[in-house]
């Protein structure tokens, strides 16, 4: 059989609401051209994020009913802890309400002024938590990963030479940990190879620097390894995941991605002293160590979700969905970040809109246009999200790339939704030369993309 089908049937449906173009014009203006400020019910196809948007399975909903809501020693916590230990082999499991809470605890303990944290690419909340602690966040992914058109099986890889150089330049005592993000969400959702993770670990061990994994999409990354890396074709995805984590001293994870849950996350680590300090911090900011920021039922949904995310029929379908959307957009004329990852397709907005300079946010302009066309919501991953404004001069340093991400919620949309999406984007493509740039009229210092206000540049 050539056709890869959704490996599930639909048990419950949720209507989506159509709007008129005139309504969308008003909605967009009212939201100051920031799609984060548009109400979800005014969206037809919501590709803003794959985070917390998964459709849960019947088994997960059944798990919800089994949640043990005891304050201390909840049965659901021990199931959660066992599941995460089975996959990661890490000794201490600390539940948090989502990924960034795990990051916040980790960098409150290990970050701080003068410290430097390397990563292939820091995700926006990771970078914000590193910088908020006073430390410096450094992105060291390979040069191929910076060029959207280049084909490479593991474009999310860390540049090991650059990692060695950084350690030489700043000294290992200033690097309390190194991270690797699998898959590399802010770098096109590209996977990282096991050879690369092993190489990283080898370098870091020599300098006694711990390796932490940002594990949000570990199952998708593991499946890419199975398909693309020599020697892994016959291994199960679980075995591959276990090998990845065997090189880690710890991890942070948002269960809203490959946990297939709508909320949740965790910090896991081997160091006993650090774990005790993390739990103390957890009690201050999240909750008692056997629930952290979660209800017992949330932990049950994650236990089942982590199992289902490692199912190879699910992963085959998941990767096929992204490939299909990528193929449709390529046919429409778009340059996309090649090759497609698993959780999203990224359009090269700068290639599409060469007449809009990075300081006028081509990605934001495209996102607004897609909403106007058909009520589609996507997100800018470019200078709005990663540009750096000098607080004194007001001058802005643009991001490396101006991308628009179409994230694919897990198990939510069908192939005809994608066909509709492609038709709408074809219309946007056909009038690309008339699309105008944007300017920011209001912003905050951290994570400005969530709340920034824009106007069209006339």
Maximal C-alpha separation, the chain: 62
Q: CB 98 → ligand PLP: shortest distance, Å?
A: 3
∠ CA 349-347-212, nearest 5°, is 110
What token pair was written down for 363?
């990605």
CB 182 within 8 A of CB 156: yes
Residue with tokens 């193929």: 327
Stretch near ligand PLP under the rule CB under 6 A, chosen from 32-40, 98-106, 157-165, 301-309: 98-106
Alpha-carbon gap, residue 125 to 132, rounded angstroms? 10
Establish how many alpha carbons lie within 13 A of residue 177's alpha carbon, considering only the half-sphere containing its beta carbon: 24
Cα–Cα distance, 114 to 133 (Å, whole number): 10
Whether omega before 183 lies within 30 degrees of 0, making that bond cis, reads yes
In terms of CB distance, is 103 or 402 closer to ligand PLP?
103
> What sign has the CA pseudo-torsion 220, 190, 353, 405?
positive
Does residue number 254 form part of the binding site for ligand PLP (CB under 6 A)? yes
In sequence order, what are the beta bridge partners of 119? Answer: 139
Check residue 123 for interaction with ligand PLP (CB under 6 A): yes
Q: Is residue 214 part of the contact set for ligand PLP (CB under 6 A)?
A: yes
- The reply to whether 100 sits near ligand PLP by the rule CB under 6 A is yes
Among the residues of 209-358, which ranges form H helices?
218-228, 237-246, 272-285, 296-309, 312-332, 349-352
Pairwise CA distance, residues 175 & 159, whole Å: 17
Residues in region 299-358 near ligand PLP by CB under 6 A: none
57 vs 126, beta carbon nearer ligand PLP: 126
CA distance 75 to 108: 29
Residue among 133 and 360 whose Cβ is closer to ligand PLP: 133
Answer for which of 53, 60, 83, 98 binds ligand PLP (CB under 6 A) is: 98
CB 285 within 8 A of CB 304: no
In angstroms, rounded to a whole number, what is the distance separating the alpha carbons of residues 422 and 197? 36
| Cα dist from 296 to 59, 69, 72, 250, 276, whole Å | 15, 5, 11, 23, 22
Q: Taking the complex as a whole, how short is the minimal distance between the CB of residue 411 and ligand PLP, in angstroms?
A: 18
> Which position among 74, 126, 221, 262 is part of the footprint of ligand PLP (CB under 6 A)?
126
* Contact call for residue 256 and ligand PLP (CB under 6 A): yes
* Cβ-based nearer residue to ligand PLP, 185 or 383: 185
Stretch that binds ligand PLP, among 34-42, 121-129, 274-282, 285-293 (CB under 6 A): 121-129
- How many residues bind ligand PLP (CB under 6 A)? The answer is 15
User: Given the rule CB under 6 A, which of 97-105, 107-115, 224-232, 413-421 is the region that contacts ligand PLP?
Assistant: 97-105
Position closest to ligand PLP via CB: 99
Does residue 181 interact with ligand PLP by CB under 6 A?
yes
One character per residue 8-27, x = contact with ligand PLP (rule: CB under 6 A): --------------------
Could you say whether residue 125 binds ligand PLP (CB under 6 A)? yes
Please give the Cα distance from 276 to 267 (Å, whole number).
12
Burial of 231-249, coded b for 16+ CB within 10 Å and e otherwise, reads ebeebebbebbbbbbebbb
- Per CB under 6 A, contacts with ligand PLP among 141-170 are none
Residues whose CB is less than 8 angstroms from the CB of residue 13 and which lie 6 or more positions away in sequence, other chains included: none
Segment near ligand PLP (CB under 6 A), from 118-126, 301-309, 363-371, 391-399?
118-126
For 359, other C-beta atoms within 10 Å of its C-beta total 17
Q: How far is the CB of 297 from ligand PLP (least distance, A)?
A: 18
Three-state DSSP at 380 gives: strand
We find the least distance from the C-beta atom of residue 386 to ligand PLP, in angstroms, to be 14
In 25-135, beta strands by DSSP E: 45-46, 92-96, 116-119
* Segment 45 to 84, residues that bind ligand PLP, using CB under 6 A: 51
Answer yes or no whether residue 92 interacts with ligand PLP by CB under 6 A.
no
Asked whether position 405 contacts ligand PLP by CB under 6 A, the answer is no
Contact pick of 185, 190, 193, 222 for ligand PLP (by CB under 6 A)? 185
Least distance to ligand PLP, CB of residue 50, Å: 8
Closer residue to ligand PLP, CB minimum distance, 368 or 404? 404
> Which of 129/321 has CB closer to ligand PLP?
129
Instruction: Kindly state the smallest distance separating residue 253's Cβ from ligand PLP, in Å.
Output: 8
Q: How far apart are the C-alpha atoms of 369 and 367, rounded to whole Å?
A: 5
Could you tell me the smallest distance in angstroms from the CB atom of residue 171 to ligand PLP? 27
Which positions touch ligand PLP (CB under 6 A)? Answer: 51, 98-100, 123, 125-126, 181, 185, 214, 216, 254, 256-257, 265
């Amino acid at each position: 059989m050539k056709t890869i089908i959704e490996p599930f049937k639909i048990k419950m449906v949720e209507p989506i609401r159509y709007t008129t173009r005139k309504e969308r014009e008003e909605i967009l203006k009212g939201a100051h051209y920031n799609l984060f400020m548009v109400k979800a019910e005014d969206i037809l196809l919501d590709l803003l994020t794959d985070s917390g948007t998964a459709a849960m399975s019947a088994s997960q909903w059944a798990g919800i009913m089994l949640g043990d809501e005891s304050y201390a020693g909840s049965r659901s916590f021990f199931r959660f802890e066992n599941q995460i230990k089975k996959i990661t082999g890490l000794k201490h499991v600390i539940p948090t309400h989502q990924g960034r809470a795990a990051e916040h605890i980790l960098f409150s303990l290990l970050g701080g002024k003068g410290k430097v944290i390397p990563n292939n690419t820091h995700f926006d909340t990771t970078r914000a938590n590193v910088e908020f602690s006073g430390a410096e966040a450094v992105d060291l992914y390979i040069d191929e990963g910076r060029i959207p058109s280049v084909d490479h099986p593991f474009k999310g890889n860390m540049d090991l030479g650059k990692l060695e150089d950084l350690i030489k330049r700043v000294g290992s005592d200033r690097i309390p940990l190194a991270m690797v993000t699998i898959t590399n969400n802010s770098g096109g959702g590209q996977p990282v190879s096991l050879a690369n993770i092993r190489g990283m670990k080898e370098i870091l061990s020599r300098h006694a620097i711990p390796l932490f994994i940002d594990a949000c999409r570990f199952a998708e990354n593991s499946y890419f390894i199975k398909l693309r890396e020599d020697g892994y074709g016959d291994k199960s995805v679980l075995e591959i995941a276990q090998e990845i984590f065997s090189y880690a001293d710890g991890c942070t994870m948002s269960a809203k991605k490959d946990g297939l849950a709508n909320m949740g996350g965790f910090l896991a680590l081997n160091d006993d002293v650090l774990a005790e300090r993390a739990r103390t911090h957890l009690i201050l900011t999240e909750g008692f160590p056997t629930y952290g920021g979660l209800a017992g039922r949330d932990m049950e949904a994650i236990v089942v979700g982590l199992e289902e995310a490692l199912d190879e029929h699910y992963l085959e379908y998941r990767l096929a969905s992204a490939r299909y959307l990528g193929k449709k957009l390529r046919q429409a004329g778009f340059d996309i970040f090649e090759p497609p990852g698993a959780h999203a397709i990224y359009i090269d907005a700068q290639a599409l809109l060469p007449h809009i300079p990075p300081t006028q946010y081509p990605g934001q302009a495209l996102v607004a246009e897609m909403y106007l066309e058909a009520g589609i919501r996507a997100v800018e991953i470019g200078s709005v999200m990663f540009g750096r404004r000098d607080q004194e001069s007001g001058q802005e340093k643009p991001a490396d790339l101006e991308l628009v991400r179409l994230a694919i919620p897990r198990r939510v949309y069908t192939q005809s939704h994608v066909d509709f999406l492609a038709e709408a984007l074809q219309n946007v493509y056909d009038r690309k030369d008339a699309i105008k740039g944007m300017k920011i009229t209001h912003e905050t210092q951290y994570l400005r993309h969530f709340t920034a206000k824009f106007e069209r540049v006339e």
